[in-house]
Structure 1
Amino acid sequence: MGLDPGLRRLALGTLLAAYPGPIPPDWAVDLVADGLAGHTLFGSNVHQPAQVSASTTALRAARPDVLIAIDEEGGDVTRLAHATGSPYPGNAALGTVGDLALTRQVYQAIGAELASLGITVDLAPTVDVNTADDNPIIGTRSFGADPVTVAAHAAAATTGLQAAGVAACAKHFPGHGATVTDSHHELPTVDVTPDLLRRRDLPPFAAVVAAGARAVMTAHIRVPALTGDGPATFSRTVLVDLLRHEYGFDGVVVTDALEMKGAALAAGGVAPGAVRALAAGADLLCVGATVDADLVERVAAEIVTALGDGRLERARVEQAAGRTAELAAWTRTAGRAAVSPSDLGYAAARRAVRVEGVPTGLDRSLVVHLHATSTIAEGRVPWGLGPHLNGAEQIRVVAAVTDPADLRRRAGDRPIVLVGRHLHRLPGGPELATALAATHPVAVVEMGWPATWRPDGVRAFVTTYGASHANGRAAAEVLGLTG
């Protein structure tokens, strides 16, 4: 026997699904017509602007108030520019510049571009306070390590996005910045007192609530004093007592992707995770990136079953679907902002660059790009100085298996520019930089979250606070490599 149509539609109204490829398949459109809250777009859904517009138009034809979301943070996490890198610097660069008006302007420009393509929800800004230097998942996605700074920029970013008519979804509540593991792969633990959390991690969320953020995303992290053995996504203490009651948030609580190991392992799968998140107070459930019709139907069926067996109260699911519908209604009536000049992001990235030493005489350098892995959040997005070099030779190497003597011979009498991300913890990276600097003019370009490490003997150390296309151009300009 099939699901009760009314209950199936109610359950679908709490789900944010996804689909493969550049064209929404029939099942993705049909689910929208049946009441699915919406879809999230990923890099695989984005080929060119006209194609994205056609996709959102097709989804909207199924139901005008469908939510269409995307992770467009600028900086290292971009879906629209996944083929080239973002033309905007990310949060770390903006926090370093320290100009709140600029942060608002950059986010308004991002929002205007999204709105022009028919996208209504940006799963941004990231407002985590990055207090762990070796945080593997936040890093340059954060405005900084100081709660006051992050709070101010978080509010500016939220205001900018929503001025463009795109709902902001601040993440990851109650704060992913102190973790040293990635919740895509496991359940990180932040073992601190609630008072420390309030002082260190929560001020940015208070700021975005005050700024009128339409949505807040949960973190798949464990804070034992609040969440027990499970993630915050499944904790009523976190989502209702803390976020709703203490911080006064009345918008939509969105889960991070339920397919992530930080949630799925704790719940025993995506479908039971959806039930636990709803029971805890979440409203809109991100199923994940790898989604098909069968998975959506299984999740909806699990929610309907939970309504029957007492795990979920109907009033709770109706409340969640109602909040999601209110968000959709807001996106249809919000004002729109004009798309800003394309050079805004590049000018912002240039202001963020910090230089130690003397970055002159490097225009004819051998540029050595050190391979570094990407996180799931970042995806395989191009980065580095390559697209911006005017005649300089670039080679790509793996630091741990590269002989400094080979690079010296390749460079000859030319200086060497080493370009990397998180060089201080890259296997073989510090050793390679030190060895080269002992006998050669060397400049280092750090495009990840900066550390205190500096190799001895380098001519210049350049920090970009991100690896976007804009950050790469800024670094190349500083070093005189753009001609």
Structure 2
Amino acid sequence: MPADPRLDRLANATLLVPFESYDAPTWVLDGLAGGMAGVCLFHNNIADTEQVARLNAQLGEAAEAPLISLDEEGGDVTRIGQRRGSGYPGNAALGAVDDADLTRAVHRSLGAQLRRLGFTMDLAPSADVNTEAENPGIGTRSFGADAALVSRHTAAAVSGLQEGGVAACAKHFPGHGATRQDSHLELPVVGADRELLFERELKPFQAAIEAGVRSILTAHIRLPELGLSGPATLAPSVVSGLLRTELGFDGAIVTDAIEMEGVSARIGIPEAAVQALIAGCDLLCLGRFVYADGVAAVRRAITEAVAEGRLSAERLEEAAWRTSQLRAWTADRPTAEVAEHIGLDSARRAVRVEGELGSLRDPVVVEIDAPPGIAVGEVPWGLSPWFPGTRRLDAAAADAAEVLEAARSRDLVVVVRDAHRYPDTREFVDELCRLRPELVVVEMGLPAWRPRCRAHISTYGAARVNGQSAAELLGAPAGASVG
């Protein structure tokens, strides 16, 4: 069957694609000229601010108001801060401060910075209520475990980002905070019934809608209490029913990455894309590694589904229209000012100390390694920029006696990240605390576990500014910069 140029263009209008390099390849520029909605940038597309600003300018010239997006949450999930760590604290730190005006100001500055770099859409904030401490995918990306707190800060973050000049995208609908699995690898389960869902998970999304959020991103989660055997992203009852009809959201509905195992493992990426459109999604975020051939396969699957009558032309036209409305909103947005010191100032406000810290004598700093989450990637964390002799250890292989000997005449600081999730880390830190109870522990993840020690510092995140806020408490010079 010959290609239908009109259908191809409509299909293109639903695609948010990745690409493989620091420069825009021809297939991306041609795709944008052919109606493709936009791109999503990842670590592999960003070398530094100058390079990404040039890249985004090139992308912006390829079509009228393409969506140039990224996952920039601040805190642990950062793309523009990939080499040094983010200059903004993440949601958990802002939730710990619990000042909605501050959250709005932080996100206004972040949005303004992104807009200056040429971005028009930010796949943030996370509106998930993190009620499960063992959650491997959310954690410090959430403002907290209380629905009311998460709601007011989600609304503030949405307002701030959009005042900064970029379209916000609240995620992961209908809520990823009560899971114990990572949807990058499998299909997580949320065991909430309809009543609990409305009381807990959906409140932040309602707040985001009331704040005028331009887009909402779906979660690849299963809700058995609602009768779902597959992911919410592919469920008309969730996307068209719950979000569009019951909550009254009239903006663009975006999928989480279609290449994630939680949505496409059993049916493949092209079929998952088709089913997401049928369910009511408007914009398909294809993921990190779906390049030219994969994009062509998705486009072909969409047009074939229309030809077969599985996907109505009206539904595809509606998705393309909603995406065009989002693009039009991003065009020529006024931008706010970047507040130069707000990231560090807010991280300092978030840090908490339990116990008696006192003054430390030339501390020996030891970090216990923790694997990065897939959403986070390889981003620097820890205190080594302020304490150059810092050592990074594997808890399973570390020798407590050797660590204590190295710090025999000096204070000892042990840095962990989400220690509650790693038994080897807890066992090793407990042993150190038993042998030397006057040591100090710094937790740079969720402070869900606290060992018996002299003092416990919680930063509520591992961004560069979170690290600096802890380092200053430990005696590093205030205002010291990362090299």
In the alignment, is residue 461 of structure 1 matched against residue 453 of structure 2?
A: no
Deviation at 1:454, TM superposition (A): 2.2
Residue in structure 2 matched with residue 310 of structure 1 by the alignment? 309
The range that moved more, 423-432 or 181-190, is 423-432
Task: Report 1:125-164 matches (<5 A).
Answer: 125-164=125-164
Q: Distance in 1 between matches of 2:333 and 2:225?
A: 39
- In the TM superposition, what whole-angstrom CA distance separates every residue of 1:313-367 from its partner, at most 9, and x where no partner exists? 00000000000001000000422112221x2100100100110011123241110
CA contact (8 A) 2:259 2:290 kept: no
Can you give the 5+ residue segments of structure 1 that lack an aligned partner in the other structure?
A: none
In the alignment, is residue 397 of structure 1 matched against residue 393 of structure 2?
A: yes
State the AA in 2 paired with 1:450: P
TM-score normalised by L of structure 2: 0.97
Residue in structure 1 matched with residue 367 of structure 2 by the alignment? 369
Secondary structure of 2:435's partner?
coil
Task: Report 1:417-456 matches (<5 A).
Answer: 417-440=413-436, 441-451=438-448, 453-456=449-452
State the AA in 2 paired with 1:383: W
CA contact (8 A) 1:400 1:427 kept: no
- In the TM superposition, what whole-angstrom CA distance separates every residue of 1:273-320 from its partner, at most 9, and x where no partner exists? 000000000000001110211111110000000001111000000000
- In the TM superposition, what whole-angstrom CA distance separates every residue of 1:196-239 from its partner, at most 9, and x where no partner exists? 10001110000000000000000000002335211000011111
Q: Distance in 2 between matches of 1:344 and 1:12?
A: 39
Can you give the 5+ residue segments of structure 2 that lack an aligned partner in the other structure?
A: 479-483
Secondary structure of 2:331's partner?
helix
In the alignment, is residue 473 of structure 1 matched against residue 468 of structure 2?
A: yes
Residue in structure 1 matched with residue 271 of structure 2 by the alignment? 272
State the AA in 2 paired with 1:84: R
CA contact (8 A) 1:220 1:232 kept: yes
Q: Distance in 2 between matches of 1:434 and 1:413?
A: 20
Residue in structure 1 matched with residue 259 of structure 2 by the alignment? 259
The range that moved more, 167-176 or 25-34, is 25-34
Task: Report 1:45-444 matches (<5 A).
Answer: 45-226=45-226, 228-266=228-266, 268-341=267-340, 343-389=341-387, 393-440=389-436, 441-444=438-441
Q: Distance in 1 between matches of 2:311 and 2:378?
A: 39
Q: Distance in 1 between matches of 2:402 and 2:197?
A: 49
State the AA in 1 paired with 2:451: P
CA contact (8 A) 1:419 1:446 kept: yes
The range that moved more, 198-207 or 55-64, is 55-64
State the AA in 2 paired with 1:472: G
Q: Distance in 1 between matches of 2:8 and 2:132?
A: 43
Q: Distance in 1 between matches of 2:137 and 2:439?
A: 29
Q: Distance in 2 between matches of 1:169 and 1:431?
A: 40
Q: Distance in 1 between matches of 2:192 and 2:101?
A: 34
CA contact (8 A) 1:240 1:281 kept: yes
Alignment: residue pair count: 477
Secondary structure of 1:376's partner?
coil
Deviation at 1:136, TM superposition (A): 0.5
Residue in structure 1 matched with residue 9 of structure 2 by the alignment? 9
CA contact (8 A) 1:360 1:480 kept: no
CA contact (8 A) 2:165 2:334 kept: yes
- In the TM superposition, what whole-angstrom CA distance separates every residue of 1:392-430 from its partner, at most 9, and x where no partner exists? x31111011111111111112112111011112323212
State the AA in 1 paired with 2:434: A
Q: Distance in 1 between matches of 2:107 and 2:465?
A: 15
CA contact (8 A) 1:364 1:481 kept: no
Q: Distance in 2 between matches of 1:94 and 1:162?
A: 18
Secondary structure of 1:68's partner?
strand
Q: Distance in 1 between matches of 2:390 and 2:123?
A: 35
State the AA in 2 paired with 1:136: P
Q: Distance in 1 between matches of 2:2 and 2:22?
A: 31
CA contact (8 A) 2:361 2:410 kept: no
CA contact (8 A) 2:274 2:302 kept: yes
State the AA in 2 paired with 1:423: A
Deviation at 1:53, TM superposition (A): 1.3
Q: Distance in 2 between matches of 1:238 and 1:350?
A: 40
Q: Distance in 1 between matches of 2:306 and 2:450?
A: 58
Q: Distance in 2 between matches of 1:333 and 1:424?
A: 46
Q: Distance in 2 between matches of 1:151 and 1:436?
A: 40
TM-score normalised by L of structure 1: 0.97
Task: Provide the alpha-carbon RMSD of the alignment.
Answer: 1.2
Q: Distance in 2 between matches of 1:2 and 1:81?
A: 46
- In the TM superposition, what whole-angstrom CA distance separates every residue of 1:431-453 from its partner, at most 9, and x where no partner exists? 222222223231000011121x3
Secondary structure of 2:106's partner?
helix
Q: Distance in 2 between matches of 1:206 and 1:182?
A: 24
State the AA in 1 paired with 2:30: D
State the AA in 1 paired with 2:446: W
Deviation at 1:2, TM superposition (A): 4.7
Q: Distance in 1 between matches of 2:237 and 2:227?
A: 7
Secondary structure of 1:400's partner?
coil
The range that moved more, 4-13 or 204-213, is 4-13
Secondary structure of 1:40's partner?
strand
State the AA in 2 paired with 1:409: E
In structure 2, do the counterparts of structure 1 residues 227 and 336 end up closer, same or farther at CA, with 3 Å as the change threshold? farther
